[in-house]
Amino acid sequence: MSYKIKITVEDIKGNCPIYRIGDEIIFNKYYIDTSKSAPVCIHAFLSMASIIYAASHGVSLKDTGIGENDDEGFLTCPDPGPPYTCGGSVLFKIRRIHND
């Protein structure tokens, strides 16, 4: 079974030049659905790539340690934001959706 992965920006601490709260990124199998997705920050993507891969192949997000249930979890980008950098730390909600 394969899953679609929907990532939503839940919160931003500081100033992220790429994302706004509510932005979404949709991964469907092995690609990003660019018709429905916000730009993808390489720093954020690298921090969540292994989770996206595992979740899209059926691994429970709860089992990965980032969620309280099988289909939903949370990750942050690696930028710590103020006062350490001029950027912003972004909180992402990762949701696994069953493909039909």
Q: State both tokens at 76.
A: 């942050």
Please give the model's pTM, rounded to 2 decimal places.
0.90
Q: Which domain holds residue 85?
A: 3-98
Establish how many alpha carbons lie within 13 A of residue 96's alpha carbon, considering only the half-sphere containing its beta carbon: 25
What is the total count of domains within the chain?
Answer: 1
**CA distance linking residue 82 with residue 4, whole number of Å:** 33
Provide the percentage of residues in the chain whose pLDDT is more than 70.
98
For residue 34, what pLDDT is reported? 81
pLDDT digits (tens, 9 = 90+) for 34-79: 888 888 999 999 999 999 999 999 999 999 999 999 999 999 999 9
